[in-house]
């Protein structure tokens, strides 16, 4: 395997998904590179979540190939698939926490599944560590999801996704429903975790601020396939109607200007500190 191939964490080739007569994907090709935050965007009904579900094994595609860490997930043995699942964490839409379990108990769910011999004391210690890691107060552990704000529930969901110390993180609309301040804080948390833990992040979002602020590359789903992938400037150079409307419209321009202003403030602050 070449060095370039080793840097590909997720490889999707010729993916086809349909529901009855409705064709969702028809020949999706996608590579996700090690250490990047890849944003996945597309209009309503383009199958962003279906693509993620196909990669993690919750959706059996009609055709195509999916490799994660070099393992062919559609043909590998159950043991091989399980070894890969230990290496990823998932935040579903709305956090998808178990309402009848406390935050700590939610975090312990994957630990109990994959490491059933862990002691209760060890489970409690790991949960407490993950709670602090995602910026939640220590007293969040014994609380139930209904007792938390929306932003805190998202952080609790991230804590559960990180329970097994994964290398790969799937995030499905992580900032949906958050106010701008909460969304910006969650974006910063995602970058911090990527940098601190060496994560690769597969991020489904429609949040233009998130795309401009933290994504290294963006994959665009349209016409039943990935029509383009690259940095936002690279995408804007393409003559594709949806891409131009999405990134070049008023909200896209506002997001771009906000990022430019933030970068200018950071540069000014750095200059002042040196002066």
Stated pTM of the model: 0.89
What pLDDT is stored for residue 44 in this prediction? 86
Phi-psi category of 47—alpha, beta or left, where left has phi over 0 and alpha has psi -120 to 50? left
Is residue 25 included in any domain, yes or no? no
Here the tokens at position 272 are 């002042």
266: domain CATH number? 3.40.50.300
Whether 254 is covered by a domain: the verdict is yes
Question: What is residue 267's predicted lDDT score, i.e. its pLDDT?
Answer: 61
Residue 158 lies in a domain: no
pLDDT at 259: 59
Number of domains the chain is built from? 1
Within-domain flag for 71 = no
Angle at 246 between CA 36 and CA 68, to 5 degrees: 30
- The answer as to whether 3 is a domain residue is no
Say if 81 falls within a structural domain: yes
Ordered per-residue pLDDT tens for the chain, 275 residues? 455 566 999 999 999 999 999 999 999 999 999 999 999 999 888 999 999 999 999 999 999 999 999 999 999 999 999 999 999 999 998 888 999 999 999 999 999 999 999 999 999 999 999 999 999 998 999 999 999 998 999 999 999 999 999 999 999 999 998 899 999 999 999 999 999 999 999 999 999 999 999 999 999 999 999 999 999 999 999 988 899 888 876 665 666 666 556 555 556 555 666 66
| Domain annotation covers residue 266 | yes
Q: How far is CA 46 from CA 49, 131, 227, in A?
A: 9, 34, 11
Taking the CA atoms of 170, 173, 179 and 181 in sequence, report the sign of the dihedral they define: positive
Does residue 214 lie within any of the structural domains?
A: yes
Q: Which domain holds residue 53?
A: 34-61+77-87+166-274
Please answer whether residues 91 and 174 qualify as being in contact, where contact means their C-beta atoms are separated by less than 8 angstroms.
yes
């Amino acid at each position: 395997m070449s060095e370039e191939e080793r840097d590909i964490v997720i490889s999707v080739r010729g993916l086809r998904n349909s529901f009855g007569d409705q064709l969702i994907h028809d020949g999706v090709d996608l590579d996700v590179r090690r250490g990047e935050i890849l944003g996945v965007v597309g209009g309503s009904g383009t199958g962003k979540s279906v693509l993620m579900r196909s990669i993690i094994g919750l959706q059996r595609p009609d055709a195509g190939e999916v490799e994660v860490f070099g393992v062919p997930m559609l043909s590998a043995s159950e043991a091989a698939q399980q070894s890969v699942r230990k290496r990823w964490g998932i935040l579903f839409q709305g956090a998808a926490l178990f309402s009848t379990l406390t935050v700590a108990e939610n975090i312990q769910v994957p630990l109990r599944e994959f490491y059933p011999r862990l002691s209760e004391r060890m489970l409690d210690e790991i949960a407490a560590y993950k709670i602090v890691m995602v910026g939640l107060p220590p007293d969040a552990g014994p609380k139930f999801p209904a007792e938390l704000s929306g932003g805190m529930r998202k952080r609790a969901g991230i804590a559960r996704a990180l329970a097994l110390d994964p290398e790969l993180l799937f995030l499905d609309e992580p900032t949906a429903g958050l106010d701008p301040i909460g969304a910006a804080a969650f974006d910063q948390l995602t970058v911090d975790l990527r940098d601190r833990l060496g994560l690769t992040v597969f991020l489904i979002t429609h949040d233009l601020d998130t795309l401009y602020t933290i994504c290294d590359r963006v994959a665009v789903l349209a016409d039943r396939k990935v029509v383009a992938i690259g940095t936002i400037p690279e995408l804007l150079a393409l003559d594709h109607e949806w891409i131009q409307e999405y990134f070049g419209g008023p909200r896209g321009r506002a997001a771009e200007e906000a990022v430019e202003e933030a970068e200018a403030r950071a540069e000014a602050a750095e200059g002042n500190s040196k002066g």
